[in-house]
């Protein structure tokens, strides 16, 4: 058996000639234009167009972290992403890219070209908020969260799906990067000298460490629903003309607590708001800070609307719905806190903060760390997203340069 090929811009056309089922109807022989646009931490991404303007995307995993070749990474993650795409697409095709095919030998997935969309994080950085995306993501998380939970799957079906979607290596990365490394000395952690005291304060905060430790256990133990697993604003594509919103890059997907995906969106909106505040764009910061509430409201409304279709209403009465919603709300807040803090302290920082000049970066980083703490711990007193947002807003404005 030959080694898997590693695609380049120059070899994509030949590869598609040999793998016509991945070409998704493109006329390969008539000539292709190929661009490599991967800008995440892990993969190659090729945008391909034929002479007639038909398009497809190929995504191929590298055997290591793209931004750190000394860090090996299982290529099986592509098969796992394909499985998530398939499951999520079955439930909510509107909010994920269409899947065209998968070459398991070479770890290449063919999917819908969404170049007429933009990455939400880049848009937020450029000052374009796309507020409709929060509500769309709330509905997406509710639909897949419900359909892949015990409310949407019979016990044996759910257990089979849990077994088929385990993602040990990438889940461990999340365990380490989100819940452990920011709280210990680790070479992945880099902050401005001026923020070192802020990080030290977090590490001495017993209440925060308790919540982060317990949240890590929930992430590890709880198989509530099939998560996207990395739903930050860089994993979301938006198109203003028809308010299209797509979650992509689900290679970290696995079963976990439903609130984890909501928390990822929430954290990255706090980060975007901290950037806007640091730049003195207060109105925009306020608009962005209002989005987690819209995310939550859309999630809750959709989840409640799906409730009558649940499996086994004999046992799952309305009080179970209330308990489940309360649990997801509380989880979303602590995961938001953890995910906000990790993007400032550890590996894979947020461009929203990193692209600021040093003075503003210091202020924004401090604000995000304090906001993250407030989300993780403050929710114990009051986990209403609106009230938590008010606390976060206060923290961001107090930290103004």
109 binds ligand SR1, rule: CB under 6 A = no
Using an 8 Å Cβ cutoff, are 228 and 250 in contact?
yes
- Least CB distance to Mg ion at residue 146 (A): 24
- Report the distance separating Cα 275 and Cα 294, nearest Å: 20
Q: How far is CA 175 from the centre of its chain?
A: 14
| Angle at CA of residue 158, ends 155 and 160, nearest 5° | 110
Q: Sign of the C-alpha dihedral, residues 67, 112, 140, 154? A: negative
Query: Site mask, Mg ion, residues 229-268, x = CB under 5 A?
Result: --------------------x-------------------
Among 92, 211, 230, 302, binds ligand SR1 (CB under 6 A): 230
Query: Site mask, ligand SR1, residues 248-277, x = CB under 6 A?
Result: ----x-------------------------
Per-residue tokens: 25: 């109807």
Residue nearest to Mg ion (CB): 249
Residue with tokens 């925009």: 284
Backbone angles phi, psi at 75, to 5 degrees: -85, -10
Options 115-123, 171-179, 205-213, 288-296: segment touching ligand SR1 (CB under 6 A): 171-179
Query: Across 194-337, where does the E strand assignment appear?
Result: 225-226, 236-239, 244-247, 255-256
- Report the distance separating Cα 217 and Cα 211, nearest Å: 10
- Kindly tell me which of 42 and 364 has the beta carbon lying closer to ligand SR1: 42
Query: Site mask, ligand SR1, residues 35-74, x = CB under 6 A?
Result: ------xx----------------------x---------
Query: Site mask, Mg ion, residues 24-63, x = CB under 5 A?
Result: ----------------x-----------------------
- Among 20, 377, 395, residue whose Cα is nearest residue 209: 377
- Least CB distance to ligand SR1 at residue 379 (A): 22
- Kindly tell me which of 47 and 320 has the beta carbon lying closer to Mg ion: 47
- Kindly tell me which of 150 and 348 has the beta carbon lying closer to Mg ion: 348
- Report the distance separating Cα 370 and Cα 353, nearest Å: 15
- Among 369, 344, 291, 241, residue whose Cα is nearest residue 135: 291
Q: Which residues in this chain contact ligand SR1 in the complex, by CB under 6 A? A: 41-42, 65, 173-174, 177, 230, 252, 347-348
Residues making contact with Mg ion (CB under 5 A): 40, 249
């Amino acid at each position: 058996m030959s080694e898997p090929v590693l695609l380049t811009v120059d070899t994509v056309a030949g590869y598609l000639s040999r793998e016509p089922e991945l070409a998704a109807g493109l006329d390969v022989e008539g000539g292709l234009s190929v661009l490599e646009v991967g800008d995440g931490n892990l993969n190659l991404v090729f945008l391909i167009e034929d002479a007639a303007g038909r398009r497809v995307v190929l995504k191929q995993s590298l055997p290591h972290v793209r931004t750190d070749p000394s860090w090996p990474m299982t290529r099986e993650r592509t098969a796992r992403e394909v499985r998530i795409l398939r499951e999520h697409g079955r439930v909510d095709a509107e909010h994920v890219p269409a899947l065209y095919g998968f070459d398991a030998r070479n770890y290449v997935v063919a999917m819908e070209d969404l170049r007429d969309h933009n990455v939400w994080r880049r848009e937020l950085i450029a000052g374009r908020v796309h507020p409709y995306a929060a509500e769309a993501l709330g509905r997406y998380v509710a639909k897949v969260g419900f359909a892949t939970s015990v409310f949407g799957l019979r016990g044996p079906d759910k257990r089979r799906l849990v077994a088929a979607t385990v993602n040990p290596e990438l889940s461990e990365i999340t365990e380490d990067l989100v819940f452990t490394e920011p709280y210990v000395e680790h070479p992945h952690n880099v902050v401005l000298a001026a923020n070192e005291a802020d990080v030290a304060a977090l590490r001495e905060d017993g209440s925060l460490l308790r919540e982060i430790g317990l949240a890590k256990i929930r992430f590890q133990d709880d198989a509530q629903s099939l998560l996207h697993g990395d739903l930050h604003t860089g994993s979301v594509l938006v198109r203003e003309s028809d308010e299209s919103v797509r979650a992509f890059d689900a290679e970290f997907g696995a079963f976990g607590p439903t609130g984890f995906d909501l928390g990822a969106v929430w954290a990255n909106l706090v980060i975007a708001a901290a950037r806007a505040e640091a730049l003195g764009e207060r109105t925009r910061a306020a608009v962005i800070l209002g989005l987690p509430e819209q995310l939550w409201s859309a999630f809750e409304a959709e989840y409640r609307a799906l409730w009558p279709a649940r499996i086994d209403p004999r046992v799952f009465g309305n009080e179970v719905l209330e308990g489940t919603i309360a649990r997801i709300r509380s989880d979303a807040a602590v995961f938001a806190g953890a995910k906000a803090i990790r993007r400032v302290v550890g590996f894979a920082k947020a461009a929203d903060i990193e692209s600021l000049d040093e003075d503003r970066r210091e202020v924004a980083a401090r604000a995000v760390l304090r906001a993250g703490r407030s989300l993780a711990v403050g929710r114990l007193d009051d986990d209403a997203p609106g009230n938590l947002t008010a606390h976060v807003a206060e923290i961001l404005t107090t930290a103004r340069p």
